[in-house]
Structure formats: structure tokens, C-alpha cells
Amino acid sequence: MNPNKTNKIPAYLIMLMAVSAGITVANIYYNQPILKEIASEFGVNEASAGLIPMLSQIGYGLGLFFITPLGDKVNKKTLIVSLQFLLISALVLFYFSASIVHVWILSVLIGLFTVSVQVIMPMAAGLNPEQRGKNVGIVFTGLLIGILAARVFSGAIADWLGWRNVYLVSLVAVGLTTVLLTLYLPAARPNFEGSYPKLLASALQQFGRFKLLRRLSFIGILQFGLLSAFWTTLTFHLGSSPFNFGSGTIGLFGIVAVAGALVAPIMGKKADAGGVTRVRFLAIGLIIFSVLIMWFFQHSVVAMVVGVLLLDIGAQSIQVSNVALMYTLDESSHSRINTIYMTLFFTGGALGTLAGILCWQFGGWNWVMIEMLVSAIGVILLLNNERKEVGSTVK
């Protein structure tokens, strides 16, 4: 079966890819609501625990650059399933981790192997070019729900069973989806015949090849950077006075954020029909408004809930529009193009996490909000340049 020539793709296959992407990627984000519990068990401070999400994102970034380009060189199904089995092994070791150093190392490995979702994404984009935006939107919705629901799941399980069992339950879920992917995922013929070094060089060439890719990448760096800074420090903010929330309550804020992910299929359709620049301007406006709400009313639970909702609607609208636009570029190079975009995207996430931790240490919540506003202004400048350059052809 050559998926690139298949006109009708079973709905269950796209849903399986979406669910698998969500369950897999969630492993990067389980740590966010339970950082205080991990710090307490190993006797380390908040800054040391705060390195865990950053290291997960670094591992993910490394996997994006060094592993996901192989999606253009080898059978995508084989690559996806192999990475899933490696992830299962890393989760087993994480469950038995004996020190914060073990947690740091295994966080990198979990991030590294979780990049199977970034092989699934370009595979979904190539299954049916006529419905590329729709398929990407569905899979991306699964991925986003996995990211956001991870916080709810992690906080709840940690409250009931302890933080280690978060990863035990995840191990079972990843195992089940890996079996289903093995059974139902179609083989995808590779289209790159060069060596691995040439493959990596070709991936780097995509950045210079497409101006659109460069712009989307810089927007992604800023967007995910501010989002990562927020979610990492939100745990400390809500765990402090006057809230003093536990991990279970903090995790519930992920339910609010899931609502933002529900706009992803709509944004995918918008990308198919045009209008993405206008949508992204509206989205960044929502982000700025959300930051102002959470800054000026930072001790109000209602303000925090509204802020989280608006922030994630804005951020995910920008991201899914970016991804849909990215897949309008050379179809034969989808994995390599995706590699560059997502590597820079998660580099932005790691830098944003670090910036958030530093801002929290030196200036608390106020400095975190300022850092997010600066990133949002950067996105506005990039979108404004896009509007000037493209004019009426991208609306």
C-alpha cells in the first residue's frame, strides 16, 4: 500500500494516529504538575526540579533533528514502532529512578524517543493531499489534547498513587497503542536514497530553501517559548500563597487548556482555504489579553482559568496554522522540513522553560508575565512582516 496514492483513508486510521500521538507526547509533560513532589522525594530545590521539563524538551529537540529525518529514508511505520518500543523501555527505567540525576537523564531519553509523533504527523499529511489540513488538524488535535490532558492525568494519579505511578500507567497506554500501530499502520515508501549524513545536510538545506519555513520557525520558537515558560512556572505560582494548590488541583487547569486544542481542526480547514495570517493576528491578540488578565489579577482563580483558556486557544491556533502552512511545501521533503521546524520549535520551548525558571527565581510571576509579553510582541513583528511581503495573496 502506497499511502501517497491512496484517495480514501479510513477514518479509524487517522483517529488511531491522533490517539497514539497524544498518548506518546504526553510523556514529555507529565512532569509539570508534579515537580514539587519530585523535588520533595529527592531533596532538591525548585530550580533543580525545574530542569526536568527543559531536559525533556532538549531530548525531544535532539530526536527531532537526528531521528525524524529518517522518515524520508526508511519505512515510516518501522521507524515509528521502533521508537515506541524504545520509549517503553525508558518509561520502565524512569519508574525505578533512584536519584534526581537518573530523572534528568531519563527525561532526555523520554523526550528523544517521543519524537515518533513527529514521524506520524508528516505521514498523516501525505496520506491524502486533498485533505492534508483536515488530517493534520485531527492528528494535531490528538497531540495537543495529549499535551494538555497530561497535566490533568499526572496531577490526579500523583495525588492518588504517587508520582511514579503516573509513568507506570503511561507505560501500559503506550504499549497498547504500539500494538495497534504495528497492526494497522500502513507501510510508507521512503523517497530519499542518499546516506544519513546527506539526509541531515538535506534537512538543514530546507531552512535556507524556504523563506516561509524560516518565518514559521521563528514564530514557533517564540510561541512555544512563552507557552513553556507559563506552564512550567504555573506549577510554582499555584503551589504558593495564596493558592497553595496540590498537584491534583494544579493538573485540573489542563482541562481548561484542552478547550484550546479543540480549535485545531478548524484552524486546519482555515489553512486549506486561506486566511491564516488574519487568524494568527487574532490568536496573538488573545495571548496578549490572557497575559494581561493573569498579570493584573494574578491572585484570582477565575482570572487564572480565563487566562489559561485564552492563552491556549491563541497558542494552539498559531501552531496548527503554522503546521498546515508548513506542509504546503515540498511533499517529498516533508519529514526533513518537519525536522527543521519542530527542532527549532522545541528549542524555543527549552529556552522558554529556562527563561521562565530564571524569571520566577529573580522576579516571580511578574517577571514571567513580562517575558511572555516580550515573546508575543516578537510574534506580532514577524506576522507584520509577513503581511507586508505577501500582501493580498495571504489573508
Q: Please report the DSSP string for 263-289 in residue order.
A: THHHHHHHHHHS-HHHHHHHHHHHHHH
- Per-residue model confidence (pLDDT) at position 375: 96
- Per-residue model confidence (pLDDT) at position 218: 95
- Per-residue model confidence (pLDDT) at position 394: 41
* pLDDT tens figures, 188-224: 777 777 888 988 898 889 999 999 999 999 999 999 9
* pLDDT tens figures, 252-294: 887 787 776 666 556 556 555 556 777 788 889 999 999 999 9
298: in domain: yes
Q: Is the dihedral of CA 126, 323, 63, 196 positive or negative?
A: positive
User: Rounded distance, CA 306 to CA 304, Å?
Assistant: 6
178: in domain: yes
325: in domain: yes
Q: Please report, for the domain that includes residue 169, its CATH number.
A: 1.20.1250.20
> Does residue 242 have a cis peptide bond before it, meaning omega lies within 30 degrees of 0?
yes
User: Rounded distance, CA 216 to CA 160, Å?
Assistant: 41
Tallying the residues shown for the chain, one arrives at 395
Note whether 104 and 130 are within 8 A (CB).
no
Instruction: List the grid coordinates of 168.
Output: 507506570
- Per-residue model confidence (pLDDT) at position 8: 64
Q: What percent of the chain has pLDDT over 90?
A: 46
Q: Give the count of beta carbons closer than 10 Å to the beta carbon of residue 70.
A: 23
User: Rounded distance, CA 176 to CA 320, Å?
Assistant: 27
395: in domain: no
* pLDDT tens figures, 332-379: 777 788 888 988 998 898 899 899 989 999 999 999 999 999 999 999
User: Rounded distance, CA 170 to CA 349, Å?
Assistant: 23
* Number of domains into which the chain is organized: 1
Q: In the predicted model, what is the mean pLDDT of the chain?
A: 86
* pLDDT tens figures, 148-164: 788 888 988 998 999 99
User: Rounded distance, CA 124 to CA 138, Å?
Assistant: 9
∠ Cα 112 89 25 (to 5°): 45
- Per-residue model confidence (pLDDT) at position 270: 59
7 vs 145 pLDDT, higher one: 145
Instruction: List the grid coordinates of 114.
Output: 517521543
**pTM for this one?**
0.76
- Per-residue model confidence (pLDDT) at position 118: 87
Element (H, E) at 109: helix 100-113
Least confident of 71-75, 107-111, 132-136, 141-145: 132-136
- Per-residue model confidence (pLDDT) at position 4: 43
Task: Single out the residue of 124, 129, 113, 117 nearest to residue 188, CA to CA.
Answer: 124
* pLDDT tens figures, 230-258: 988 998 899 888 999 988 888 788 778 77
Exposure of 229 in the CB half-sphere (CA atoms within 13 A): 31
Q: Is the pLDDT of residue 5 over 70?
A: no
Cβ neighbors of 389 (< 8 A, separation 6 or more) are none
Structural domain of 371 = 3-390
- Per-residue model confidence (pLDDT) at position 64: 86
* pLDDT tens figures, 301-339: 999 999 998 998 888 888 878 877 887 888 777 778 888
Answer left, alpha or beta for residue 336, where phi above 0 means left and psi between -120 and 50 means alpha: alpha
